[in-house]
Amino acid sequence: MTGTDHEEFVRLTDPYRRELLAHCYRMLGSADEAEDLVQETYLRAWRSYDGYEGRASLRTWLHRIATNTCLTALEGRARRPLPSGLGGPSEAPEEVLSAPVTDVPWLRPLPDALLDPATVVAARGSLRLALVAALQHLPARQRAVLILRDVLAWRASEVATLLGTSPVAVKSTLQRARARLDEVAPDEDLLAEPEGAADREVLDRYMAAFEHADMDALIGLLQEGVELEMPPNPEWFSGRKNVLRFLASRAHHRAGIARMLPTRANGQPAVAMYLRDEDGVFRAHSVQVLTVRQGTVTRITAFLDAGLFEGFGMPRVLS
């Protein structure tokens, strides 16, 4: 094909890139892997573009390629969990944490900055961290069927064509996927739509409480049943009392030790947290994704990985 053909291909397909990134992220649970698979999707699409006959929309055609690319990538892989998906909460918040578990492919957040606002809005609750974590419990084909039917609203016949099966089989697979999701999915309130300005107000109060180590302010922000997890640490804590006991016992929870910058991930409010080292420099510590409901924080998922900061457009060191 000619350079003109490639220019046409880029012009026509590029508007779907971020939508495909969201799709691959739901399947994989990792923004980095999703970006790699979107690149692979476009490479496969370009190689077969001269055979595209327009019988399906370009959007549908690209999603078919992306889904098959994801299914291939998922063959033989373990799911990406959060600590709360591996066992019960710890009852010893003051004790030293176990060593980070590095042989588990932990679920990772998706920076909103990688998506356009329209994609975030159109995704509704389907990108929220708790739901993506629940999707990881499904086998790959069940995951694909549920996403294609319930998120992208494909017809059963379209999914059947993609997967090389029958509409009856697709309907049966969807029923099993929904039943399994009902077993592992969080409370529906955790999947509620973001509240915009109200969420930002909670985020501002949360950042101020952390930077000033204001336990009274945190008490007013955290719901009674709040949960805190910190991959790659396997321990997690449930209940405001235990969460506050954990924070109060940590040396870094002192006024002036932490600095926070606001961001967003998975369509939810989030913060990039920096801790001051002995040399006085604030260095990247964690990306914390908050689940907010009716003005209170119901879950804190703190990803203790400075390598995430680049994807959020955040520096690793603050001047």
Q: Could you give the percent of the chain with pLDDT greater than 70?
A: 93
Half-sphere exposure of 150 (CA within 13 A, CB side): 20
**Phi then psi dihedrals of residue 305, to 5 deg:** -150, 105
Q: Quick one: pLDDT at residue 192?
A: 55
**Phi then psi dihedrals of residue 289, to 5 deg:** -100, 125
CATH class of the region 1-77: mainly alpha
Q: Quick one: pLDDT at residue 54?
A: 80
Q: What is the mean pLDDT of residues 189-196?
A: 56
- pLDDT over 80 at 3, yes or no: no
How long a stretch of residues is the chain? Answer: 319
Query: Under CATH, what is the fold of the domain 193-318?
Result: Nuclear Transport Factor 2; Chain: A, (3.10.450)
- pLDDT over 60 at 267, yes or no: yes
Structure tokens at 119: 């994609």
Q: pLDDT digits over 38-74, tens only?
A: 999 999 999 999 888 888 899 999 999 999 999 999 9
Mean pLDDT for the chain overall: 91
Q: pLDDT digits over 211-264, tens only?
A: 998 999 999 999 999 999 999 999 999 999 999 999 988 766 778 899 999 999
Q: Could you give the percent of the chain with pLDDT greater than 90?
A: 78
User: Which single residue is written with the structure tokens 């990688």?
Assistant: 114
Structure tokens at 98: 């176990």
Q: pLDDT digits over 136-148, tens only?
A: 999 999 999 999 9
Domain boundaries along the sequence of the chain: 1-77, 193-318
Q: Quick one: pLDDT at residue 308?
A: 97
Nearest one of 7, 20, 74, 95 to 46, comparing CA atoms: 7
Q: Quick one: pLDDT at residue 53?
A: 81
Query: pTM of the entire structure?
Result: 0.93
